[in-house]
A and B are shown apart, each in its own frame.
Chain A
């Protein structure tokens, strides 16, 4: 029972490191509101990594045989990095750029009466979405503007977009959700 309890406690190490990352991110965002958002996230992730090292180094020698210590360290680091990925893209970024979350925010603010489709589209519409995203892409250098026309800039995000198209083909059998709808599948 004691070995199980010790193992369960040690298993929490990457999760506690994630908590440190989130707390650091919140504190940095509140203290430095002008800081670019991705810088705040990087600071949070680095704080969590430092917390992981501080929490893992003392018990790792006792918990694992010398030959296994690297393996345990790698497992905890991989677990922490996966949790940070989830936090950034699966939680923080939902509030930042998810259309479903934004629609829910607008509808919740309307209370029990709700909103008609026209009222929803007055508060949040495709024009606003395109303008906001284009603004972020321009600020990040992924898109550049010349004489009122837009061209691709830094390629990293474009590669990500192409990788997503590949994954759509693997999972959905179509390069976009609308291609599926057009072909009559769902």
Chain B
């Protein structure tokens, strides 16, 4: 219990804080804000775990006490946070695959054709918003009508290019 509950509890707190804050006001730099929130919730949780054994008395048996219990809780929380951010990225931007599936389902018994899907999902829906994301995230700059990768963009893309080469896989997308 002491190895699992603290990490899960801190993670549940993160989800609640995320929903409440984002519904009230969605920050501009979402992922940086989410990272700050993640670190803040962990700090608050660890501080609370140190303070509440006194009022809880014998009911505090599930709280971390030893260094291993603390480190296990932090490791579990960090891993859950990474998987949470991954899931949130699919929430934040519409996935073409999921959109295609939903469009086909909505078409019902008559189904839909490739041309109908292409008409609904054009460059203005699938490509240009992501290009705008890159510019607003300062990964790409717009220079006299030309899109140029910034140093930050190069830093972000390098591990992916290298990793695809290791896997011997072609360009994705």
Give residues in A with beta carbon < 8 Å to B: 3-4, 6-8, 10-11, 14-15, 25-26, 29-30, 33, 63-64, 68, 71-72, 74-76, 78-80, 82-83, 85-86, 89-92, 94-105, 107-108, 110, 112-117, 120-121, 124-134, 136-137, 142-143, 146, 148-152, 157-158, 160-162, 164-165, 167-168, 170-173, 176-178, 186
Contact = CB atoms under 8 A, between A and B. Distances in A.
A101 B160 contact: yes
Interface in B33-64: none
A139 to B, nearest CB: 12
A146 to B, nearest CB: 7
Contacts of A95: 160, 163-164, 169, 172
CB-CB nearest 6 A-B residue pairs: A102-B173, A114-B148, A90-B86, A149-B111, A82-B79, A11-B71
Nearest to B79: A82
B125 interface: yes
Please report whether the interface of chain B is mostly helix, strand, loop or mixed according to DSSP: helix
A78 B172 contact: no
Q: Which of B19, B75, B171 has the most CB of A within 10 A?
A: B75
Interface residues of B, number: 87
B139 interface: yes
A82 B7 CA distance: 12
A11 B90 CA distance: 29
A170 B168 contact: no
Please report whether the interface of chain A is mostly helix, strand, loop or mixed according to DSSP: helix
Nearest to A125: B123
Given A30-B168, A107-B140, A83 B79 contact: yes
B79 A79 contact: yes
B67 to A, nearest CB: 4
Given A83-B79, A113-B146, A149-B110, A11 B72 contact: yes
B134 A71 contact: no
Contacts of B95: 161, 164
